[in-house]
Amino acid sequence: MRFGQLIGLFAVIISVYILWQIRQILLVVFAAVVLATVLNELVQFLQRFRIKRGFAIAISIILLLVIVIGFFALVVPNIINQLQELTSLIPTVSERIRLWNEWLQNKIPAQWVEEVRGLTYLTQGLQTWLNQLLNNFFALISSSLTVVLTFLFFLVLTIMLLTNPPPYRRGFIMLFPAFYRRRVDEILSECQTSLKGWIKGTLLTMLLIGFLSYIGLLILRVRLPLINAILAGLLEFIPNVGPTLSVIPPLLLALLDTPWKAVLVVVLYFIIQQIESLIVVPLIMENQVSLLPAVTLVAVVIFGSFFGLLGVFLAIPLVIVLQIWIKEVLIKDILNQWQGDTKKYYEQEKPTAIAHHKSNSSVEK
């Protein structure tokens, strides 16, 4: 290896190491790009009414701030109150599950007791696990200064990208060779279109799932309906895994009353998911980039392992962008260009294959 190649390899290794160290910041930057892309759609919509771009941006930012401030002012206090109530209910939930476990062991045949004895260990560890989960949540709340600073950085960066997006786009395109810049601009436009369709459909789905969950939990008179509905809406952002996790808290709370109520909670969430799969997704997500369920599940697990909670929530937009770049660059611009060489190869190999076939035929005769 030449000295120049060695220096280049060393520079690549250092660059990858630096990018890995700032991966959380890069995720925040990516989230800001996604939000700026969505808000730019609102700005362009307002400009159709002959509103200047500066005023349209101000209206969009004010609307965003009103939504955020309204959420923290109206919803967060109720969430905190219901979290405190949930904390006080943890011992009761654990005791109720323990009693149901003992009743189940008395009713089932003796030869099955050993097979379900794991329920006892699950019950014994449930309260510890829930306490640790809430302690981690309150630890996150206690480190709210870091969360606030990160959110302010995210908000300011979004406003900067929204105010004048063309220079940032041109700067990114300039990183590529001159002959490929027009192609990169086309790929970025496709990413922009796909992200806008996905985020609008996802937000509508989250609102609908949260609303249906809240109404259903109110009808069933399950405790803490607000926090459970908000949790169901937020976890809808995580495909496959999120809807499954969202049923656990209301299921445990329903066990405090009667077993049939817990069964009704499962039925409620199953019906809501069927409505989403059969009605909402075909209507809202028809322009979304098609992602295989196994791909989305693997993406959530991988990005969650590498980047934590933020990686879980940004897994799908990251996969959408990566899928477009892989399809356009790797498949269309690289792999598909090898077809010409393949034809030449088969043309060169064709006489050899014919001669080989004739020799085999003569041997058989």
What pLDDT, in 10s, does the model give residues 69-123? 877 776 667 666 666 666 666 666 667 666 766 666 666 655 554 554 444 554 4
Q: How far is it, in rounded angstroms, from Cα 53 to Cα 47?
A: 6
Domain range annotation of the chain = 24-163
Q: How far is it, in rounded angstroms, from Cα 240 to Cα 190?
A: 25
Enumerate residues 6+ apart whose C-beta is below 8 A from 130.
90, 93, 94
More confident residue, 95 or 346: 95
Angstrom distances, CA of residue 301 to CA of 294, 297, 304, 318, 319: 11, 6, 5, 13, 12
- Of 238, 241, 240, 218, nearest in space to 229 by CA: 218
Q: How far is it, in rounded angstroms, from Cα 125 to Cα 134?
A: 14
Stated as kind and residue range, the H or E segment containing 10 is helix 3-21
pLDDT above 80 for 26: yes
What does the radius of gyration of the chain's CA atoms come to, in whole angstroms?
28
- Which amino acid, residue 69? I
HSE at residue 341, side-chain half, CA atoms within 13 A, is: 5
HSE at residue 301, side-chain half, CA atoms within 13 A, is: 8
Q: How far is it, in rounded angstroms, from Cα 330 to Cα 341?
A: 17
Coil/strand/helix, residue 40:
helix
pLDDT digits (tens, 9 = 90+) for 167-182: 999 999 998 889 899 9
For the ranges 28-42, 66-80, 106-120, 293-307, the lowest mean pLDDT is seen at: 106-120
Give the pLDDT band (50/70/90) at residue 363. Answer: very low
pLDDT above 80 for 143: no
pTM strictly above 0.75: no
CB 246 within 8 A of CB 235: yes
Predicted pLDDT of residue 182: 92
Predicted pLDDT of residue 345: 46
Predicted pLDDT of residue 122: 47
The angle subtended at Cα 236 by Cα 235 and Cα 238, nearest 5°, is 70
Q: How far is it, in rounded angstroms, from Cα 211 to Cα 226?
A: 10
Q: What is the percentage of the chain residues whose pLDDT exceeds 90?
A: 8
